[in-house]
Amino acid sequence: MTIKAFGTTASDAPLIPMDIERRDTRENDVKINITFCGVCHSDIHTAHNDWKNARYPVIPGHEIVGKVVEVGSTVSKFKVGDVVGVGCMVDSCLTCEACLDGDEQHCHKRATMTYGSPDKVSGGHTHGGYSQSITVREEFVLHIPENLDVKAVPPLLCAGITTYSPLKHFNIGKGHKVGVIGLGGLGHLGVKFAKALGADVTVLSRSPGKEADAQELGADTLITTDKDAFKAGRGRFDFLLNTVPVPHNLDMYLSLLGRNGTMVIVGAIEPFQGLHSGSLIGGRKRLVGSAIGGIAETQEMLEFASKHGIVSDIEMIDMDEINHAWERVMASDVRYRFVIDMQSLKD
């Protein structure tokens, strides 16, 4: 069926209203009417072709929450009326070693991402959540805990799992000194999860104006435009979660790690700028990357968020405010995630 959406046709074009096609509900599908969709910096990277793999039109959106309106005959985990979520993936082979390990994002045959990814079953490429509805196979749909404010849940489905997953993988908890680099969508949820896991958390930010927010989130702040901050922070951290969305000097940040410290890159997907092997050799430091998280782990993250009352700090916008919202994300001026009220697309 034809539905309304917002998307872009070229790397330098604005987002405009479009009509797109959604498939008929298959036996293992869940059809979801989208109520809210988060705005991730990756939406912008993709539309602007920063990663040189964009397929146009790009219909972004991979922080999707909505209501089930139809289920296929073999669907057992969802029923009409359920409030559900869809994150960054909508399909994978489910049989390779990575998928069997619950790492569908690392599927050996490549997971199908929610937007801009070749659709191996239907052909063409996938379209995301800046749209009225989405149809997804049951295995990639998530249950949304009832106690959480549904408007502030969408960012958990990308920003949330992307920060929760490496914290869990590296067993971060009580006694660990964690630094979160960049207080944006990912960063502010990274702070919330690291705090809830019991770590001692510091925000590393270029924005002095965010100091009070960091404090409210329960974190100290280190202002990284202040040269002395790097000196003062030298060797101070066990773990750094790096959410910076652009190429930047890594040596500076690695100097903040103590012996056996780990820096996880979840931000910029780019060639490294400054990176001297001495920054890793001295202190036996680790530099690793991490991509979102698997489906079971995303459900686990939602249960953890439910237990600890964690949702995103959001600014709600209408669909036609999206181009301005993107400008503000690029200017690091969002506190701390835009969420689109998808009712506004219908209207």
Q: How many residues lie near Zn ion (CB under 5 A)?
A: 3
Nearest residue to ligand NAP by CB is 184
Residues 6+ apart with CB under 8 A from 1: 21, 22, 24
Measured N-to-C along each axis, helices 185-196 and 295-308 cross at an angle, to the nearest 10 degrees, of 70
Nearer to ligand NAP, 128 or 245 (CB): 245
Provide, rounded to whole angstroms, the least separation between the CB of residue 292 and Zn ion.
8
Nearer to ligand NAP, 186 or 217 (CB): 186
Positive or negative: CA dihedral 297, 153, 133, 129: negative
Token pair, residue 251, equals: 């040596």
Which of ligand NAP, Zn ion, none binds 116 (CB below 5-8 Å, type-dependent)?
Answer: none
Burial of 318 (0-12, 13-18, 19+ CB in 10 A): middle
Token pair, residue 53, equals: 């793999």
Provide, rounded to whole angstroms, the least separation between the CB of residue 313 and Zn ion.
16
Q: Which residues bind ligand NAP (CB under 6 A)?
A: 40-42, 45, 158-159, 162, 182-187, 205-207, 210, 243-246, 248, 266-268, 290-292, 329, 332, 334
Q: Which of 136, 146, 157 is nearest to 294 (CA)?
A: 157
Provide, rounded to whole angstroms, the least separation between the CB of residue 297 and Zn ion.
16
Cβ pair 67, 81 in contact under 8 A? yes
Amino acid at 315: E
Cβ pair 212, 333 in contact under 8 A? no
Alpha helices in 129-198 (DSSP H): 159-169, 185-196
Nearer to ligand NAP, 132 or 242 (CB): 242
Provide, rounded to whole angstroms, the least separation between the CB of residue 324 and ligand NAP.
15
Provide, rounded to whole angstroms, the least separation between the CB of residue 336 and ligand NAP.
7
Stretch of 2-10, 158-166, 283-291, 331-339 lying at the interface with Zn ion (CB under 5 A):
158-166
Which of ligand NAP, Zn ion, none binds 185 (CB below 5-8 Å, type-dependent)?
Answer: ligand NAP
Site for Zn ion contains 64 (CB under 5 A)? no
Nearer to Zn ion, 136 or 199 (CB): 136
Token pair, residue 317, equals: 């916008």
